[in-house]
Amino acid sequence: MSKSYTTFKIHPSIGIARLGNSDQFYIAPEQPGALPIDCDASGKEKQDKAGNPVRVSSFKDDNDLSKIKKQAARFRVFAYEDEKDKNGKEIKVGGKYNFIYQTAVTAPRLVEGTVTDIDWTVHLANKKASWYEFQETNGQHGYAPDHPLRNPEVTQPDLRRQLIIDPGPVTVNLKNNQGAFAKFGSESKKLDTSKNKKVSYPQTFPPSDIKPNAIETLGSLFVNEQDKNIRLLVLGGNGNSGSTKTPVIESFVNNNGWFDDTSDGPVTAKIEYTFIDITYDGDKEIKTKTKASMDVQIPAWVVVGYPRYAPEMEDMITMDETMYDIFVRNMAYEPRLFGVPPFDTENNSPATKEEFDLWKNAARFNPDYYPKFYRDIWPIFRRPYEQTTFTMTFDPSDGGDPHNRGTGGNLSQTALSQPPSNGEDPNFQLRQFVFGIMRGTNQTNEYTVVGNAKSPNKPRLMPMLCGNNPLTNVSVDKFLAMRPTQLFFLKQWAAGKFVNECQEWEEGNPNCSNPWALPPTTGIGIDRGVLGNAVGGAFCPGAEMTWIMKNPAIYSEPFRIKHASYIPGALSIPQPIADKDGSTAPDLEKGLEPGDLTKYIGVPWQADFHECTDQNVDVTYENWNNIYPDSTGDPVQQQTAYNIPWWPAHRPIVVFDSSGSQVYWASGIPDNNAGDLQMVQAWKDLGFLIASGDGNNRSFSQIERNDEALGAPVKPGDRISGQNTTRSKSRK
């Protein structure tokens, strides 16, 4: 009987924690658009009678609307029996698996061991202040030697490394179950019972006198046991941001002297197990109970982002969708969808770099692929209508939202979901029309549909959202387009090649129209469900993560960040400075270090967050965002696309309060640099949005806004002290 060893993987592959200034927390949702999961003080998931997770209904402390609860990223270890096992199963204390046992003096061998504990190690860091300036798309494919650095005056390598917030790795397990990414000697570190807490590490933290808020920790982590499952929870920072100088905000994304406490880093685990070792003394069998441990082969990553104020509102493109597209088109992730004919695994398993080159040359979308309506198509059309309620784009009282999903609407669910049936296809033209106004991959600088029609009212291309760079003239990318894989789904759909699950194999399933209706139980389901709550575009720079996620080089396998090895206290710094003393510079080929995903994001995050509402985009010329006709007396008529939103799901503009009236979500915080600075404190007072109703009747209303701190919300049209209430990004 041949046995293979068990493969262990940590799920989710990328966990999302979120900042909060409260000590209380909940667990990150594992389904797109789901409310976070409620838990007890030790992080154990609360379950209802049916065994489903209980969802939170309150995002702030009971008696304090200025305290936002943290979102914990929860990790688990799954065991995969063999190569055929695609789903995996979470491991348990007492569970038996096939481990590879190896000591310094014995060759590796397979033993059946019993799990006793898991050592979880996480290393968070924040590299924002040490990194380059974020200049929209510039840097996406490497930085010019003269690309400006944040804090450019710090050019000595060791001083530059001091700009990194690096508390060092922390290891916890069931016995030593609590740790903190805090400065040695700080209050936050006192609760630390972690495994190696006494081991010193060359920590770097910002000066303790930064203003307005000091940073002495990037968060904490602990382990609990629930139903014999050993799980890790990672909590992020307190939302503290501060500047070494007199705090002012000058830019939405690069502010020298500033630090914040978002972070990211690797999550690894070592399984501790025991087994009975059998040796022989002559003929006598000697059984010895032996303790051993084995590394989980496929580790994970954690990213700490800012709070999700409308957790149930899905982004127009989620990070899951963005990453899926990359893996499908670059990593032979789904050969049936994109690959080399005949689109089977056999012909689509490139392993070496050369094989990948050949594969990429020949691979293409499978023209016979039938996307599934509710999995692949409907989310694209379901989201816009809800999102418009967070923007000023369409006045609901006008009654004319072109995203209408009801009968007769452009996005009528009944009409769009109906595939050709027995040769009949009454909705063909509607689908072609809808597909026709979806912005193509090569149309990201087009505002309206391209065609010969002379009509002055050409339909605008969709989604009508900002792209990666509507701001500067370097690598212009004005508007957002759905990902190529999604556009391919839409193309198949428009041609009638799609399946409506609810009419076919899931007819009897009440959840057929929502593939994410139930909590995922598979490893990959958890990976993708978690990522479904992060912004997948546009990236200017983005919310949790940015355009670096579109680079296949950073992944070891689909959905997994490649881990680099690194020297404690010597995390990489920009190459021009690293070259001065020969220390480590970034190397995507070798993998990522703690802090490498969040370093691109604006610092402090509150500035960009405040400005990410909507944008006027110059559409005079495709390749130019900024033109200066006056300087040459050019009589060209400048054309502007007004009020193009960024990502309303992450940063609402207008919302309905509990009384049903429409108000500015961030009212009380002015639309200027001072407002950006105010947001450094005021983010914790903003309201959350929760959904009620189902399907096409779903609406969102605001709860838990701290009017005491921000004042009563302002309705559109109302003016208080002459304030404008929305804010657009601008270059200095």
Partner 1 sequence: MASKTNEKSLYDQVVSILDTLQGKTIPSYQGLYAFWQNPDTFLNASLYGQRLIAPKNDGTTIVASSGCCGSSTTSTEATKSASPVKTEGCCSSQQDATVPLDTKQNITASTSLTSTTGTADCWPSGGSGGGGSLPTVKRSAQSGIIIGLKGQYPFDGTMFPRLLWDTENVATVAQIQTIANWIDADCPLTLEEERANKLQLVSFTNASNLVALARGEMLHQQATVSTNASKESVNGLTVRKEISSLSPEELGIFREAINCMNQYNAYWQDDRSFDYWARIHTNSCQHGWEQFLPWHRLYLYFFEQKLQDYDKNITLPYWSWTDYADVNKTTFNNTQFDLGIIPDAYGCFLTTKGFDKLNTSKATDGSALFSPKEITALANLTKKGTIFNSGLRFLKAAGINYEIINQNNTAIWSQKINVLYTVLKEVNPLWFPNRWPGALNGTAGMSQYPTKDDVKLILDINSYAEFGGGSAYDHYFGALEKVHNGMHNFSGGTNPNYPDNNPEWVKIYKQLNLTADPQNVDNPIYGWMTDNRTTAFDPLFWGHHSNVDRIWAQWQEQHNGTPLDMDAVMAPWTLTIKDAMSVQKLGYTYMRDSVFYKVSNEVGLTKFNAAPANVSQHTLEAHRKTEIVLHKVQVGNLMNASIRVFINTPDASVDTPMADNDNFVEQFSTFNGSCFGGPGHCNLPLPNTRRFDRRPLHNHEPRNYKIDATATVQRLLNKGAKNITVQLVIVGLNGKPVENAVFIEGVSINFID
SS3 content of the chain, % helix, strand, coil (to 5): 20, 25, 55
Assess 347 for contact with partner 1 (CB under 8 A).
no
Q: Give whichever of 453 and 567 is closer to partner 1, judged by the CB atom.
A: 453
Closest C-alpha to 559, from 530, 517, 586, 587: 530
Which of these, 341, 221, 386, 322, lies nearest to 539 by C-alpha position? Answer: 322
459 contacts partner 1 (rule: CB under 8 A): yes
The stretch among 113-121, 140-148, 490-498, 683-691 that binds partner 1 (CB under 8 A) is 490-498
Closest CA relative to residue 73, chosen from 296, 304, 278, 227: 304
Q: Which stretch binds partner 1 (CB under 8 A): 124-132, 324-332, 375-383, 414-422?
A: 414-422
* 450 binds partner 1 per the rule CB under 8 A: yes
Minimal distance in Å, beta carbon 512 to partner 1? Answer: 10
Alpha carbon distances (Å) from 675 to 251, 618, 707: 12, 25, 16
Distance in Å, CB of 552 to partner 1, minimum:
22
What is the DSSP track for 534-547? SB-S--SS-SSS-G
* Residue 419 or 569 with smaller CB distance to partner 1: 419
Residue 526 to residue 532: CA distance in whole angstroms: 10
Query: If binding is defined by CB under 8 A, does position 63 make contact with partner 1?
Result: no
Q: Which stretch binds partner 1 (CB under 8 A): 4-12, 100-108, 362-370, 682-690?
A: 362-370
The nearer residue to partner 1, 356 or 369, going by C-beta atoms, is 369
Which 8-state DSSP code applies to residue 317? S
> Binding partner 1 by CB under 8 A: which of 421, 511, 551, 699?
421
Could you say whether residue 433 binds partner 1 (CB under 8 A)? yes
Under 8 Å between Cβ of 684 and 632: no
HSE (side-chain half, CA atoms, 13 Å) at 65: 15
Of positions 419, 552, 576, 716, contacts partner 1 by CB under 8 A: 419
Query: C-alpha distances in angstroms, 169 versus 266, 527, 569, 721?
Result: 9, 23, 11, 49
Looking at residue 387, its amino acid is Q
Which residue in this structure is represented by tokens 């990453």?
323
Smallest distance from partner 1 to CB 451, Å: 4
Report how far apart, in Å, the C-alpha atoms of 516 and of each of 34, 206, 519, 535 are: 9, 42, 7, 17
d(CA 262, CA 237): 6
Cβ distance to partner 1 smaller for residue 397 or 442 = 442
Write down the least CB distance from residue 344 to partner 1, Å. Answer: 7
Written as six digits, the tokens of 146 are 């003269």
Beta strands in 419-539 (DSSP E): 466-469, 477-479
Site string for partner 1, 500-519 (x = CB under 8 A): x--xxxxxx-----------
The DSSP letter of residue 629 is G
Q: How far is the CB of 464 from partner 1 (least distance, A)?
A: 15
CB of 446 to partner 1, least distance (A): 9
Closest CA to 315 of 726, 657, 651, 696: 651
- Give the range of 56-64, 333-341, 380-388, 390-398 binding partner 1 by CB under 8 A: 333-341
- Only one residue has tokens 């959904």, namely 691
- According to CB under 8 A, which one of 369, 394, 621, 624 is a site residue for partner 1? 369
Name residue, tokens 């309506």: 373
Residue 436 C-beta: closest distance to partner 1, Å = 4
Member of 435, 590, 621, 715 binding partner 1 (CB under 8 A): 435
Nearer to partner 1, 209 or 424 (CB): 424
| From candidates 103, 106, 279, 442, binder to partner 1 by CB under 8 A | 442
Part of the chain binding partner 1 (CB under 8 A), chosen from 64-72, 125-133, 309-317, 446-454: 446-454
With H, G, I as helix, E, B as strand and everything else as coil, classify residue 26.
Answer: strand
Residue of the chain from 3, 42, 428, 585 that contacts partner 1 (CB under 8 A) = 428
Which of the stretches 75-83, 248-256, 432-440, 669-677 binds partner 1 when contact is defined by CB under 8 A? 432-440
Among 3, 336, 639, 718, binds partner 1 (CB under 8 A): 336
Among 144, 278, 362, 453, binds partner 1 (CB under 8 A): 453
Residue 718 interacts with partner 1 (CB under 8 A): yes or no: no
Least spacing, CB of residue 342 vs partner 1, in Å: 6
* Integer Cα distance of 367 and 409 in angstroms: 29
Number of residues located near partner 1, criterion CB under 8 A: 53
- Give the whole-angstrom CA distance, residue 267 versus residue 477: 34
Interface with partner 1, residue 432, by CB under 8 A = yes
Partners of residue 166 on adjacent β-strands: 204
85 binding partner 1? (CB under 8 A): no
Peptide bond before 463: cis, by omega within 30 degrees of 0? yes
Q: Tokens 């990211």 appear where?
A: 264
Q: What token pair was written down for 18?
A: 């979120």
Check residue 679 and report its DSSP letter: H
> Rule CB under 8 A: which residues touch partner 1?
334, 336-337, 341-344, 367-370, 419-425, 428-429, 432-433, 435-437, 440-443, 449-453, 455, 457-459, 461, 487, 491, 494-497, 499-500, 503-508
